[in-house]
Structure 1
Amino acid sequence: MFIFVVMSLKTKEIASINALTEIIVDEIFQTYFMYGPGLYERIYEATLAGRLRSRGLKVERQKQIFISNEFIENEPAFFADLIVEELVIIELKSVAKLEKVMFKQVRSYLKLLDLRVGFLVNFNSSFLKRDIHRVTNQYDEELHGF
């Protein structure tokens, strides 16, 4: 019985995250369609945050993240572009090309925040679908959509 409950909770969590990421992707596209490519990241960030809030979601913008461990205490680590519902981090770019280190950066953010799913989005794109990347903390077929 206990195993069934745990599996059920995991299934509900994954369904919730997947539903949330569908909304996020939709609003990323709507934001892109408003402006097209080439603006500063902060314009896309502010608009996307506003659009997500209008859908009733909790969105934290430019949230400063601190690290504490046995060697440091409350050391500023980075600013998260957007954190949605305390479940998904979104890292926005407006660059000519996404570099491999940017994907690693998002994965590091996920690990530090103990989140499972994030997005790396490059708005400076002529075909946005190729520049929305779902990044996960650990490989999970259900979270990758397979």
Structure 2
Amino acid sequence: MTDNEISRHIVDCAIEVHRTLGGPGLLESVYEEALAWELRQRGLNAQSQIQVPVSYKGNKLAAPLRLDLLVNGRGVVEVKSTIDYNPIFEAQALTYLRLLDLKLALVVNFGEQYVRNGIHRVVHGL
């Protein structure tokens, strides 16, 4: 499955989750769990809360980052639920891509009235 196909599934699942849960207003953890479940129902491997090690000058730091979802080992999903979207969310997703040497991330903000308006694609090395 290509990165674009994974991306399409993530978008479709995010729309389904947002619609089924009644739109914005819930915690990020609720949307994350529902999105992971929906992705798995469609046959994708969705792993939640993946630890991403960070090193500084060759030394592994004690506090790893936590990635919301990793889909099929290739697609990063950063789940948000806010009315005040901040471009720093995309920078965070790009950091995950760099650390994991991956190419595609989606920041999905379930805080939007229409979730399709809250989906931001982030790429690294394309």
TM-score (norm 2): 0.91
> Cα distance, 1:77 vs. partner?
2.8
CA contact (8 A) 1:106 1:119 kept: yes
User: Partners in 1 of 2:11 and 2:106 — Cα distance?
Assistant: 9
CA gap 1:55/1:73 in 2 versus in 1, 3 angstroms: same
Over 4 Å off, 4+ runs: none
1:32 to 18, 36, 40: 18
Superposition map of 1:49-128 within 5 A: 49-68=36-55, 70-73=57-60, 75-128=62-115
Q: Deviations over 1:23-77 (max 9, x none)?
A: 1110010000011111000110001101111111111101111123544125333
Paired residue type of 1:32: H
- Is 1:17–2:8 an aligned residue pair? no
CA contact (8 A) 1:65 1:76 kept: no
Paired residue type of 1:134: R
Q: Deviations over 1:102-121 (max 9, x none)?
A: 11111111111111000001
CA contact (8 A) 1:64 1:76 kept: no
Point out which structure has higher relative CO (alpha carbons under 8 A, 6+ apart).
2
Please report the RMSD computed on the Cα atoms of aligned residues, expressed in angstroms: 1.5
Percent identity over the alignment?
A: 33
User: Partners in 1 of 2:47 and 2:35 — Cα distance?
Assistant: 11
Paired residue type of 2:3: I
Paired residue type of 2:107: L
User: Partners in 2 of 1:38 and 1:91 — Cα distance?
Assistant: 17
Bigger share in helix: 1
**Structure 2: tracts of 5 or more residues without a match:** none
TM-score (norm 1): 0.80
Q: Which residue of 2 aligns with 1:143?
A: none
User: Partners in 2 of 1:76 and 1:60 — Cα distance?
Assistant: 19
